[in-house]
Amino acid sequence: MISSAVEALLERIKNGESLERADLRDHVLDHATLENVRLSRSDLEGVNFEGADLRQADLSCANLREAYMPGADLERANLQKANLEGANLEGANLQFADLRHANLGGATFERANLKGARLSYAQIDFANLGRAILTEAQLDNATMCQAYLGGADLAKADMQHIRMVETNLEDSNLTDANLTEAALTQTLSEGVDFTNACLRGAAFDNTSLANSTLKGVDLRNCRFLNANLDRVILTGAKLFGFEVASDELGRVLADWVDFSVEGNDRLKVAGTEMVDYYLRLKASLSAGAGLNSVRSKRFFGPGDVLRGATLEFREDCQVEIESHLENCTIHLAHGTTLTIGPNGVLEGCQIVGGGDIVIDGEFIEGGASPGIVGPRRLHVGQTGAIVAAVHQASTLTEFGFEHGCSLSLRIRKE
Amino acid sequence: MSESLTTKQTVLEEGTEIEGSIRSQCPITVSGILKGDIAAPSLTITLSGSVHGQVKVSNFKSEGEIAGEIDAESVELSGHVGDQTTIRASSLQANLSQNGSNGKLQVTFGNCDLHVGGAAAKSSTTLVKVAPKKKSVDEHPKIEREPWVEPMSEPELTPIQRA
């Protein structure tokens, strides 16, 4: 039986009244017709919206913590910056819903339909998306650490710069998905279909991809450190700049692969010759005898510690640091890019010169100040943290900061 | 049951200059020049807008010029950040230009300080990372994370409003 308070509330909604900032905590509104309702910034913690019609509802910035919403229809609803932590949306319809910057931590979306949903920059850690439909969803720059995506359909999803750690993707469908520069660390990605996906510049460190299909996948400049590639199908994959242990590459299945720089299938290599070709190409590139278009690369791997060193990098050099550097001085020439990876830490160091700096790890100024002098660009990614003074270049440094980064920054100019 | 039935906002149009403080329960958009302090749920400064003073808001977005002290939950920056500016926020976003060195800078900074997220708390103690165990499908982890950051409370003052 519907209470008189709920009846009155539904009447107000029916009359087109806005309920922005309303306090509806723990209300029971299951199967209610709330299409186009305006509940922006409302407190809906613990509300029961089971089977409710919330199509095109405005729930932006609303508090929906622990809301019970299985089977709810939220097609094209606005849930930007909403807090859905621990909410239950099992089997809900969220097609084309706007969930950008929303907090979906620990929420349940099992078998939910999120086709075309906008989830850019959303926090989806610990969420259960088992068998959910996420085709053509926008997941760029989202974080999905320790989330469960077993059997999910992510075909054609935009997952650029997504961050996944210990995420379970078993048996999911990622055909034609865009995972450019995605970071998948320690994920369980066995039996995944990546056919024709774009994984350029992505990192799959310590990830198991056993029995996955990577047919026609763009793996250029992709990194697979300590990855398990047992019985992975690689036919037609584009492997220029691909980083993997040669013994792992020997365990994949491929009729042919492409090693062309452009990834246009003009440098086809038979599967039987793939490992030898890969080793030759890698050797020639590291010797500087490779293709002229390739920037020379320096990589400092995780676990290494470097103290008190002075490092100088010449023009057009690409430097990636996943190590721990203490009290080092780094000189960057113009055109050089220094990336402090997610595991990289620079403590008490100073970076000098007109190169580009990307911080996905930590930079903590110590002795010498300013810690960073004259960079052309300084970009701090969503996992990056910086505690430092920055003396800008004479032409002014270009700064980029991603949502989620941590800064304690003193910016100075001449 | 608390609620607000309005979507009104306070707008300072281009060509208008105000010296003094504004406190509002409505979002504020500044396209003109404001020299003084602002307290509101949100503040948007458009390309032609300029704000010099203390700002306390939940959401702050600037495409124009700012200087002073900014306290906000969420900050989106482009335009120019002037000298002697301090920005304190839970999250901050500023985009690089799309065309590399040939493109106009999205945001330029004078001498200023930024304090965002938990950078100050970062230290070398965070370096010790233990490799977690791989979880099976049935061992979906329990939630254990930072609490959701509630939006800043809003000042209870008479708003200056224009539809």
The distance of Cα B141 from the centroid of its chain, to the nearest Å, equals 33
CB pairs under 8 A between A and B: 150
Q: Is B99 on the interface with A (CB under 8 A)?
A: no
What is residue A67's three-state secondary structure?
A: coil
Q: Is A392 on the interface with B (CB under 8 A)?
A: yes
Q: Which of B62, B28, B66, B5 is CA-nearest to residue B155?
A: B28
At A150, list the tokens: 């077993």
Q: Is A10 on the interface with B (CB under 8 A)?
A: no
Q: Judging by DSSP bridges, how do beta strands A406-412 and B112-116 pair with one another?
A: antiparallel
Q: Which of B114, B112, B74, B78 is CA-nearest to residue B98?
A: B78
Yes or no: say if B132 and A126 are a contact pair by the CB < 8 Å rule: no
pLDDT at residue number B32: 94
Mean pLDDT across the stretch A254-271? 86
Residues of A in contact with B88 (CB under 8 A): none
Q: Is B82 on the interface with A (CB under 8 A)?
A: no
Q: Is A401 on the interface with B (CB under 8 A)?
A: yes
Is residue B99 over pLDDT 70? no
pLDDT tens per residue, range A138-163:
999 999 999 999 999 999 999 999 99
Confidence of residue B140 (pLDDT cuts 50, 70, 90): very low
Q: CA nearest A125 in B: which residue?
A: B143
Helix (H) or strand (E) holding A203: none
pLDDT at residue number A287: 47
Confidence of residue B153 (pLDDT cuts 50, 70, 90): very low
Picking from B2, B74, B129, the nearest residue to A23 by CB comes out as B2
Residues of A in contact with B127 (CB under 8 A): 324, 345
Residues of B in contact with A341 (CB under 8 A): none
Picking from B107, B122, B144, the nearest residue to A362 by CB comes out as B122
Please tell me the distance in Å from A319's CA to the nearest CA on chain B. Answer: 19
At A152, list the tokens: 């999910």
Q: How far apart are CA A124 and CA A106, in angstroms?
A: 7
Q: Is B129 on the interface with A (CB under 8 A)?
A: yes
Higher pLDDT, B163 or B60: B60
Helix (H) or strand (E) holding A277: helix A274-286
pLDDT at residue number A105: 94
pLDDT tens per residue, range A292-316:
444 577 888 888 888 888 888 877 7
At B86, list the tokens: 């301090």
pLDDT at residue number B97: 67
CB contact under 8 A, B143 and A85: yes
Phi-psi region of B5 (alpha: psi -120 to 50; beta: other; left: phi over 0): alpha
At B53, list the tokens: 């003073």
Please tell me the distance in Å from A91's CA to the nearest CA on chain B. Answer: 18
Residue A15's contacts (CB-CB under 8 Å, 6 or more residues apart) are none
Q: What is the mean pLDDT of chain A?
A: 90
One-letter amino acid for residue A172 of the chain: S
